[in-house]
Structure 1
């Protein structure tokens, strides 16, 4: 998880640096890249859970152990851990739905795309209220801003002076000849999208060493023993 968070932070920073000269002229390229990043992270997370070799993600009991095996459980973790198994199974399957379906809806029109935002927001708030994932939630929620367009944000932000301040501090838009608008797509947008498919496709392969029988039979044994103490 730590490696995923750090790589996400580094990748987001580099994308913002590369796209910053083109944001004002071709903001749609930056929006598309941000959607592609969320698509890969979320869909990869959903698929990776199923193909990662942990049987608990396949039988719906992953959340039974999650609150003890996550990074730095917080005071709320034991409370959620003691919930019925039926609730844990709902949490497990909701994780698949929020990450998998939410990722696919990233590329849909705004009237549908807001569902992705709600799915991602719920799953991120859930895992951070019940655990400690450092900058994972703030970073991903920041990346999610572009899932909603300006009109939606104007209706969600209640204070007019905040909107005025954001518009005042934003980069003024300018127009360029349409052939030059293709350059960010050719050299940044489309290459990034197709390159992102490479690690995403790897998550569909069940080649994780922990899926071998020797690990499948004994990987949860130490955890089960701790429950008896």
Structure 2
């Protein structure tokens, strides 16, 4: 069974596991700091209401046993603690079976969050973390060499992630085929970052080169992941560089970081030996029979479950970021099959006036990440995920996306709900909630370099229309 393990990837596994634990840590912290306002007992889309409508079979989660905000918070902060312990090496201090149990615990906890997270957790990187986290259970610890089959399955995830994204672009918006999508993308992406303005204002020929390079990286380079070394490491390095470019140009939660983490598992251990002050163990234990059987069963299961993602990839009606089972074990991925050409933003405002609203002073609620004040430079938040800010971007595209949660959000603002206000950057009504709130639709565009020099603004915005037909009132205005 010498072929079953690969000692040369001992350091690669160590790097991968520590980095994956860091992603888990960010994911759990993101849940801990935002869940109460979004989906707590008194949140915008309460978990108890969701659990009453869905069975365990439909949405596996430990919270079907019992739910309370305190229990959810305890589980999430426990996930934070376990992730931190793995980062410092806890899974390598215990027997292999105990290490696998720790990785299983992280996966079960996060699966339980995602499956009750509703619209707030409907993103591809949630499924990606669960799929990769499940494979990590079978990698073993520092006492043995990593199983070859699990290393292969990690490459299979990375291949589907990159190749699926490349296919959906080529099949989707015509601007990907004529190489013009980056004329718009940096400006219209869900949450621009601090360098997005600079990327947007690069010369258009360079944008076309970027798109061509992206197609090469996503449609050609992934096949190199299955080639012998050093070709596989070179392919992984190209993917890492491309993902770092995306990290600089926008805020995509932990999608790019987790893609990099997957690519790290492909890099030959000799490369890591040259840069890390860690000596690989030379006396490695053979894998126990139970682990061999578990890895073989895992590989067979992934092979069977891969039928649906592969069929989806070759389909003309390719689905983007889709899970075919409630455990998110083998998923389809993809992003930006269609690129928005014009950026719209929903701006929320409130007033303390009781009447004559046309003449009232309206004050704007500022969000942490999404564009608001034109003079405010976009901030870097990724790999942290601002869930409400992202959903506000979808709401600007179509009110359908906002139907489950926008009116509850406005009601929370009228009530001055502390948990909801913590999700925002500013509260223009610190002493007393407003009497009315309204939602307006604006068109945003990045300023040109000349406009930026003249005004100091990063954005230029134009009022389009009232997003809602009328303001929402805290109390009925006085009669007469």
Q: Output the TM-score relative to the length of structure 2.
A: 0.39
> Which structure's residues are more often strand, by fraction?
2
Question: Deviations along 1:48-91, whole A, 9 cap, x unmatched?
Answer: 1112x311111111111110222310121111111222111111
Question: Deviations along 1:79-127, whole A, 9 cap, x unmatched?
Answer: 1111222111111111111122221011001121122112211210111
Partner of 1:203: 313
* TM-aligned CA distance change 1:25 to 1:129, over 3 Å: closer
Distance 1:202 1:147 in 2: 25
Q: CA RMSD in A?
A: 3.2
Report the CA distance between 1:137 and its aligned residue: 2.5
Q: Answer yes or no: is the 8 Å Cα contact 2:181–2:211 preserved in 1.
A: yes
2:278 is aligned, of 163, 173, 178, to 163
| SS of structure 2 residue aligned to 1:34 | helix
1:61 is aligned, of 180, 186, 189, to 180
* TM-aligned CA distance change 1:190 to 1:100, over 3 Å: farther
* TM-aligned CA distance change 1:25 to 1:110, over 3 Å: closer
Q: Answer yes or no: is the 8 Å Cα contact 2:193–2:249 preserved in 1.
A: yes
Partner of 1:39: 159
1:15 is aligned, of 135, 139, 158, to 135
Distance 1:117 1:208 in 2: 25
Larger Rg: 2
Question: Deviations along 1:169-214, whole A, 9 cap, x unmatched?
Answer: x9x732258x8786355411243145335313313323269xxxxx
> Which structure's residues are more often helix, by fraction?
1
Distance 1:25 1:163 in 2: 15
Query: For 1:33-182, what aligned pairs fall within 5 Å after superposition?
Result: 33-51=153-171, 53-155=172-274, 157=275, 162-164=277-279, 167=280, 173-175=284-286
* TM-aligned CA distance change 1:62 to 1:186, over 3 Å: same
Distance 2:216 2:170 in 1: 12
Q: Answer yes or no: is the 8 Å Cα contact 2:170–2:177 preserved in 1.
A: yes
* TM-aligned CA distance change 1:181 to 1:74, over 3 Å: closer
Gaps of 5+ in 2: 1-120, 320-338, 345-442, 446-459, 463-480
Gaps of 5+ in 1: 210-218
Report the CA distance between 1:26 and its aligned residue: 5.5
Partner of 1:24: 144
Distance 2:341 2:161 in 1: 30
- Structure of higher RCO (CA pairs closer than 8 Å, 6+ residues apart): 1
Q: Output the TM-score relative to the length of structure 1.
A: 0.77
Distance 2:341 2:271 in 1: 49
